[in-house]
Structure 1
Amino acid sequence: MVCGKPLRFNAKKLGIHLTTAFYWRHKVLCAIRAKGFDSLAGIMESDETYILESHKGHRNIEAVFGRKPRRSGGKAMKRGISKEQVCVLVAQDRQGHVLFQVGGMGRIDFSAIGAILGSYASGMTTLCTDAEAKYRKFAKEAGVDHQEISARAGVRVKRGIFHIQYVNAHHSRLKLWIRQFHGMATRWADNYLSWFRFMDKHGQLDRAEVIHQMLVSSCAVSGNFPVAALKPQKGRGLFHRAPESP
């Protein structure tokens, strides 16, 4: 996982079945994800990016979703941002604490912004975003100072401190990292985001130390992630929600 090797390679290397390798991968990711995020506070910046939805691994895409399977990730049928795109909201404070979370399909709405950033509002002093009105509304209702950064107007930094450059850099690295999977299954999006966040945080360390950190992180929280909870179930919805840790 640290080296980004595919499941078939991992299964062969460990002498286990491909399905077992899949469940082991997601048990590790569910455990890392269950640790949650560090508390964000002070000056925060937030922006969203979009990734093409994928039903990779589904055996009957055409019958269930009404379209032919894409090859190696493929392209959206519609131009621009649509319901074919998974919205990923990224936020970071000036202490380097980062949050990655799925915000739904298509353009993010006000309720999704509130659900993701609302719990951090009490410690937030300033929220830096683009000129999207939904962020402006959230900041007003949360009683937080809001600084709009309008790249279209040629403004990238205000007063030398307010910008969204850190989260935009995360967007670029995330999309580059996802390419190695040739399509990321949408139902596992939050798990993959936890994986990327871990590697982005620890990737500069020695490889042996990164492996050690991943092992420690996956054991740091007491959790129950049975195989049955990871299998597809009717009524679960588009995204997989990992069972909560006790």
Structure 2
Amino acid sequence: MRHHDFRRFLDRISLLSPAQIAEAGTAFQDVRRRSEALTEIEERTKKEHKCPFCECEARQKCGTTKTKVQRYRCSDCLKTYSGRTTSIIRYIHRPDLFLEVLRDMMGDAPPSPVRRLANDLDLNKYTIWRWRMIILDGLSGSSSKAFAGIVEADETFQRESRKGSREWGNHLRDPAHHSAPPRLRWYEYGRKGVPMMRGLSRWQLPILTLVDRNGARRAERIPNRTDKTIEAALAPFVAPDVVLCADGLSGYKNFTASRQITHVEIKPIKASIGGSSAYHIQNANSLHQLYKTFIRPFRGPASKYLDGYIFWFIARSLKWDPVEVFRAI
């Protein structure tokens, strides 16, 4: 728009009715979101500045995509690409709304339910769900990988869930070809004379957490709590010069003994080594409480998606910037 036309447009804004002002505000908000998403995509292109096919840096502009993203033609292999060519959101037609979903997931406020967010963005609920799964996949590296000083290790547990599974329906429809699932559905306990299992069982999935005093955090779902599993989970991240605060589980004892790491065994009442207040697992327990608060509104996500929810929780607890996440994925 020419400057003269733009000034005339501004002069006529005062003639709009309240309903027209509200409609114009919605249109401006939509344009702003689109422009911001395109800007972030361009920032990724400027940062990498290499052809994703041959890594040549020589390029020239070559039109735009359907979503108005700038395309480039490589001067070497002559292939065209954009800032989304190698990203997992390259097939999404509304990157602006995708960024809004990402902001809702990574914001300080609790994330909105899928249906409410779909109504707010005028999208289908299955689209919001699919976008969330894409984001969870992009958050797979959210946990910290380096720990130093005093490191706290402990486990929390998430009840196994087969939400969305058709195993019981398949069994009831065709028991000859579909065997009965290994356990009853959760709501059937107590109704058929089967008492609810108390305490830990194989239906409680362990999640190993690591926390140090510098703010590093890690949560990882592990298949069990055997010695080999604990040692394999700790070995890549716990350095030999740290002090590991953990309970008396044999996996922690064997791991620290084999690598000559100082192990402070945290007992139910007080810590060992003179009862020093510096050695505790209160930060790990606090992280567990934050996880329970985060996961409670989802009413037990399906276990096949649990890893993604753990990545999401860690990214939120570490205050990841949604714009940076948008650029990265």
Match of 1:187 in 2: 304
Aligned to 1:34, what secondary structure does the other structure show?
A: coil
In the TM superposition, residue 140 of structure 1 has moved relative to its aligned partner by 0.8
Give distance in 1, aligned partners of 2:182 and 2:283: 38
1:84-163 matched pairs, under 5 angstroms:
84-105=203-224, 108-122=225-239, 124-151=241-268, 154-156=269-271, 158-163=275-280
Question: Relative contact order (C-alpha < 8 Å, sep 6+): which is higher?
Answer: 1
**Given residue 17 of structure 1, which amino acid in structure 2 is its aligned partner?**
N
TM-score (norm 2): 0.57
Q: Does 1:164 align with 2:319?
A: no
Deviations 1:72-117 (A, max 9, x none): xx9x942211111010111111211010110125xx1112212221
* 1:178 aligned counterpart, secondary structure: helix
Look up the SS of the partner of 1:100 in the other structure.
Answer: strand
Post-superposition CA distance 1:186-245 (Å, at most 9, x none): 11111111111122232xxxxxxx7xx123124325xxxxxxxxxxxxxxxxxxxxxxxx
Q: Does the C-alpha gap of structure 1 residues 128 and 114 become closer, same or farther in structure 2, counting only changes over 3 Å?
A: same
Q: What is the SS of the residue equivalent to 1:56?
A: coil
Distance in 2 of aligned mates of 1:30 and 1:147: 36
* Inter-CA distance 67–160: structure 2 relative to 1 (3 Å threshold): closer
SS at match of 1:187: helix
Shift in Å, 1:131: 1.4
C-alpha RMSD of the superposition? 2.4
Residue deviations 1:109-159, cap 9 Å, x none? Answer: 1122122210123354211101112210111112211110101xx214732
Seen in structure 2, the aligned counterparts of structure 1 residues 104 and 218 have a Cα distance that, compared at 3 Å, is farther
Please say if 1:178 is aligned against 2:178: no
Contact residue 31 and residue 218 of structure 1 kept, 8 A: no
How many corresponding residue pairs?
A: 205
* Structure 1 unaligned spans of 5+: 203-209, 222-246
Question: Given the superposition, is the C-alpha separation of residues 20 and 35 from structure 1 closer, same or farther in structure 2, using an over 3 Å criterion?
Answer: same
Who is 2:181 aligned against? 65
**Pairing partner for 2:121 from 14, 22, 31:** 14
Paired AA for residue 65 in structure 1:
P
How far the C-alpha of 1:171 sits from its partner, in A, is 0.9
Structure 2 distance, partners of 1:47, 1:218, is 32
Residue 28, structure 1, aligned to residue 169, structure 2: no
5+ residue gaps, structure 2, are 1-104, 172-179
Between Structure 1 and Structure 2, whose CA radius of gyration is higher?
A: 2
Structure 1 residues 59 and 8: alpha-carbon distance in aligned structure 2, compared to 1, 3 A threshold:
farther
User: TM-score of the superposition, structure 1-length normalised?
Assistant: 0.74
Alignment of 1:229-240 (within 5 A): none
Percent identity between matched residues is 29
1:219 alignment counterpart: 327
Task: State the AA in 1 paired with 2:261.
Answer: V
Q: 1:143 to 1:156 in 2, by over 3 A?
A: closer
Specify whether residues 98 and 14 from structure 1 end up closer, same or farther in structure 2 by C-alpha distance, changes over 3 A only.
same
